[in-house]
Amino acid sequence: MIPKVFLGPMSYNIVNAVLDLDIPLGLIPSRRQVEYNTGYVGLTTEELYRITRGSKVTLCRDHAGPNQGSSYDDGLLSLKEDSKYFDVVHIDPWKEVSSIDEAIEKTYNLITFCLQENPSLKFEVGTEEAIFPYSPKNLFYFLSQLKVKLGSFFQNITFAVVQSGTELDLPCRKNTGNFDIKRLRDFIEVCNTFGVCSKEHNGDYLLDNFGIAFRFESGLHGINIAPEIGQIETEYYIYKIGSNSSLFERLYLLCYESRKWEKWISKEVSPQELVLTAGHYILNTSAFKEKIKKEFPEADLEIQEHIKTYVKKVYLQANGYET
């Protein structure tokens, strides 16, 4: 069964919570989070596979390809391992292209490389708007050319990424941008024409206003949620620290010195907003464990319960149940 909800595994707690729920869900590790030899979560590709096998979890590599890891490379070593251990691989060379035609060629080459390793592997193609914006017409052309080039292997494409105008503001915890329902439905129609599932990235911060339910009612097949679920864990520590200013200062300095907030913050923000933005990047570091986490021995179980409560609400909305 192909899940509708895909979650970023920024920590062991997210992985464990998803496994404990025992419902069809996807995990979408980026190369920076989980890689064949490293990753800030502390799991390798093979280790994540071993942990999740036998469960209802679908493993989907998010943004595989060149210039998507912690340092620049062609992405082939990573893809070689992904082909062994993932159910679906998102082929994303779009950081490296300047046209749709170039994206077609690079996507085809990377899919062909993976199929040599595993002919049964499934794929997600296309990318999110922040990397390379395209229109429904562009996606139609992109998929039509891949269908010609791949022949019968086109059926291995499970998802295509649609772009409805979403954008994330992590410090303020908002889904911004200009959401366009007609544009979304046009994208979905293109996907349906080619028999692939539509998938939207950046589905964070949509739960409270039933934005997730609305998208699935409109025909969307899948959605990615990542930073928001990582922030559940960070928010827990901010709440537990409370008025302990010296402990919060330790947390703030760890986040600030990581420099991971630079990707998301372009204006002056409060210390708490910076921590909310970068906190999930440092959860597995020895410094965080020694300076912060040891103060809260009950943290993991409580955090997992918070994550499960949130994920269940998302799952119910995506599947047409009121929450």
| DSSP letters for 88-155 | EEEE--GGG-SSHHHHHHHHHHHHHHHHHH-TT-EEEE---TTT----HHHHHHHHHHHHHHHGGGGG
The CATH 3.20.20.70 portion of the chain extends over: 5-228
Average pLDDT over residues 51-75: 95
Average pLDDT, the chain: 96
Asked whether the predicted pLDDT for residue 23 surpasses 70, the reply is yes
Asked whether the predicted pLDDT for residue 208 surpasses 90, the reply is no
Q: How far apart are CA 279 and CA 296, in angstroms?
A: 16
Average pLDDT over residues 36-62: 96
pLDDT number for residue 322: 61
Asked whether the predicted pLDDT for residue 206 surpasses 80, the reply is yes
Q: End-to-end CA distance of the chain, in Å?
A: 23
- Band of pLDDT at residue 49, cut at 50, 70 and 90: very high
Asked whether the predicted pLDDT for residue 94 surpasses 90, the reply is yes
Average pLDDT over residues 257-280: 94
pLDDT in tens, 219-243: 999 999 999 999 999 999 999 999 9
Q: What is the pTM of this model?
A: 0.96
- Between 271-278 and 227-241, two packed helices, what is the crossing angle to 10 degrees? 130
Pairing of strands 57-64, 25-27: parallel
pLDDT number for residue 321: 78
Asked whether the predicted pLDDT for residue 323 surpasses 60, the reply is no
Residue found by looking up tokens 């295509």 in the block: 160
Lowest mean pLDDT among 72-86, 206-220, 236-250: 206-220
CATH T-level fold of 5-228: TIM Barrel (3.20.20)
Task: Name the nearest CA neighbour of 33 among 244, 238, 230.
Answer: 230
Asked whether the predicted pLDDT for residue 178 surpasses 90, the reply is no
